[in-house]
Amino acid sequence: MKMTQTFLMILAIVFAVALALTIAMISLSYTRVEREETRPQGEGTKPMPQITTPALLESTTLPEITTPLEETTPSNTLAFASAGDGTCTLVGIGSCTDSCVVIPTYSPEGDRVTAVAARALYGLKQINAIQIPATVEHIGALAFANCPNLVYISVSDQNEEFCDIDGILYTSDGRELLLYPPMRAGASVTISLVTTEIAEMAFYNCAYLSHVYYTGTPEMWERITIGAKNYSLLAASKTFG
């Protein structure tokens, strides 16, 4: 009985000591927390870094996006060969895709267009009409020949070397017929007795031509110099005036 009471007393003392220690530890913890909260920055603790929002995110206006203009290159440009003296010759179709080919007074380089080379536009199917300026003084052989869809040729009234009569190309004096457009409308053509020469292929594959009115006599007709491959002219019926 005496031993039992002694054992209980010892347990009570141990429990009291443990309780006292626990209370002491809790008190110390609260004291440390209070010190940490009141300690000035820079004394043992590092301040939290300040987080800033970039200006781009704060702005609701998107930056303006500009697209540079695309570089353009000249199109529909005929090909010219400069003579080096301020004049030039039309030598080809170049990048031109127009159905009506307008020969300019000056080339893109500033040279005066004074001539059209032989076969410059020969055999081009895209061409329906050709305009010749006053500056052209020379047209080479077959320059506009065999253009199967050509309907009309126009020459400036100020041109001193060439002219057109109803869309047909002549020298200015009318002596040489240079080209009858293959797709020219109408079944007939009138040729003056002034004309004494018809160029090679001037009447080549003329789709509608069937009759020729000549203002001279049959004998005068026989004296006309007719170039090669004028099959449509030779095949057409003739009336003399």
pLDDT-derived band at 202 (thresholds 50, 70, 90) equals very high
- The strand pair at 87-92 and 138-139 is best described as unpaired
Other CB atoms within 10 Å distance of the CB of residue 177: 26
For 38, phi and psi rounded to 5 degrees? -95, -5
pLDDT-derived band at 75 (thresholds 50, 70, 90) equals low
CB contact at 8 A, 155 and 161: no
CB contact at 8 A, 184 and 154: no
Q: Residue range 73-90: average pLDDT?
A: 89
Half-sphere exposure of 76 (CA within 13 A, CB side): 10
For 111, phi and psi rounded to 5 degrees? -80, 145
pLDDT-derived band at 192 (thresholds 50, 70, 90) equals very high
pLDDT at site 195: 98
Let me know the angle formed at the C-alpha of 164 by 159 and 166, rounded to the nearest 5 degrees: 150
pLDDT at residue 33 greater than cutoff 50? no
What residue ranges in 143-227 does DSSP mark as E strands? Answer: 152-155, 162-165, 168-171, 176-179, 188-191, 197-198, 211-214, 225-226
* Position with higher pLDDT, 216 vs 38: 216
Three-state DSSP class for residue 8: helix
CB contact at 8 A, 62 and 56: no
pLDDT at residue 31 greater than cutoff 90? no
Distances (CA, A) of 79 to 105, 110, 116, 219: 13, 13, 11, 44
Question: How would you class 31 by CB atoms within 10 Å of its CB: exposed for 0-12, middle for 13-18, buried for 19 or more?
Answer: exposed
pLDDT-derived band at 29 (thresholds 50, 70, 90) equals low
Confidence (pTM): 0.70
CB contact at 8 A, 200 and 145: yes
Q: Residue range 112-126: average pLDDT?
A: 98
* Position with higher pLDDT, 99 vs 46: 99
